[in-house]
């Protein structure tokens, strides 16, 4: 399953969803998955919440990731909805740990992955400014927004370098694995974080005055549909 984070749009295309809609989706999905029960209306709401990231993954053409996620969550939700209810003792504890932990954390993680995949830093910053978010929140989050994709790219470069040196063909010990993979990525992460922070300050993110933007951010029909679905699910979750 490919978890590389790359923005799929080109030629100035807008993000699939407005960043504010995506943030709302992460919050609502997280609340429903973490607090939902294993039966009744709340279980149906949890199934719907699991399906939202799968649909978005198909839309942004991450077909392999979407298929693996869908099958993985389908098995997990079935286990949680059936096996947990009919088993007892140690077996029940195993099903609860495996299915419960996975189903309650993976959907919001995948929603955040979709968010990073189809949203640019500029769109994120504009949306945060429209929400009147303070700079001490916007700047760290904008740096983090590019940090993880860059680290992912650096990790792939390290693996390619290992293949060129024929290091990955051997079965390295734990210390060698730390030396060959973890240490280079950690050294690069320090440099990348400094560069991203400097880039953010160079773009004037720390200024108090209003900045201008060339990217377009705003709600469209797909955003309104998603917001209605999310708020309906949240209202039913609170009521029931």
Residue 12: which region, alpha, beta or left (left: phi > 0; alpha: psi -120 to 50)? Answer: left
pLDDT number for residue 229: 94
One domain, residues 74 and 161:
no
Average pLDDT over residues 95-106: 80
pLDDT number for residue 166: 63
175 part of a folded domain: yes
Number of domains in the chain: 2
6 part of a folded domain: no
Cα–Cα distance measured from residue 94 to residue 33, given in angstroms and rounded to the nearest whole number: 19
Q: Summarize pLDDT for 46-95 with one digit per residue, the tens.
A: 889 999 999 999 998 888 999 999 998 888 888 777 776 777 777 777 77
Least confident of 40-44, 92-96, 203-207: 203-207
One domain, residues 24 and 114:
yes
108 part of a folded domain: yes
Average pLDDT over residues 177-187: 75
98 part of a folded domain: yes
pLDDT number for residue 171: 66
127 part of a folded domain: no
Least confident of 47-56, 197-206, 225-234: 197-206
pLDDT number for residue 43: 83
141 part of a folded domain: yes
Average pLDDT over residues 171-183: 71
CB-based contacts of 5, cutoff 8 Å, min separation 6: 113, 116, 117, 148, 149, 152
One domain, residues 197 and 163:
yes
Query: What is the extent of the structural domain holding 104?
Result: 19-120+218-239
């Amino acid at each position: 399953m490919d978890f590389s984070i790359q923005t799929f749009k080109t030629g100035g295309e807008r993000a699939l969803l407005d960043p504010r809609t995506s943030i709302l989706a992460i919050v609502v999905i997280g609340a429903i998955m973490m607090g939902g029960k294993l039966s009744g209306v709340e279980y149906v709401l949890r199934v719907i919440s699991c399906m939202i990231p799968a649909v978005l993954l198909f839309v942004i053409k991450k077909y392999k990731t979407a298929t693996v996620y869908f099958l993985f969550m389908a098995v997990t939700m079935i286990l949680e909805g059936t096996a947990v209810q009919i088993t007892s003792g140690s077996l029940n504890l195993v099903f609860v740990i495996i299915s419960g932990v996975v189903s309650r954390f993976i959907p919001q993680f995948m929603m955040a992955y979709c968010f990073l995949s189809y949203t640019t830093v500029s769109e994120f910053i504009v949306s945060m400014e429209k929400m009147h978010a303070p700079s001490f929140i916007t700047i760290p989050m904008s740096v983090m927004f590019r940090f993880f994709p860059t680290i992912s790219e650096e990790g792939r470069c390290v693996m390619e370098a290992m293949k060129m040196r024929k290091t990955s063909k051997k079965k390295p010990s734990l210390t060698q694995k730390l030396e060959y993979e973890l240490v280079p990525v950690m050294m690069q992460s320090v440099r990348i974080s400094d560069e991203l922070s400097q880039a953010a300050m160079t773009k004037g993110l720390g200024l108090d005055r209003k900045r201008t933007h060339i990217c377009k951010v705003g709600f469209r029909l797909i955003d309104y549909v998603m917001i209605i679905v999310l708020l309906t699910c949240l209202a039913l979750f609170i009521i029931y």
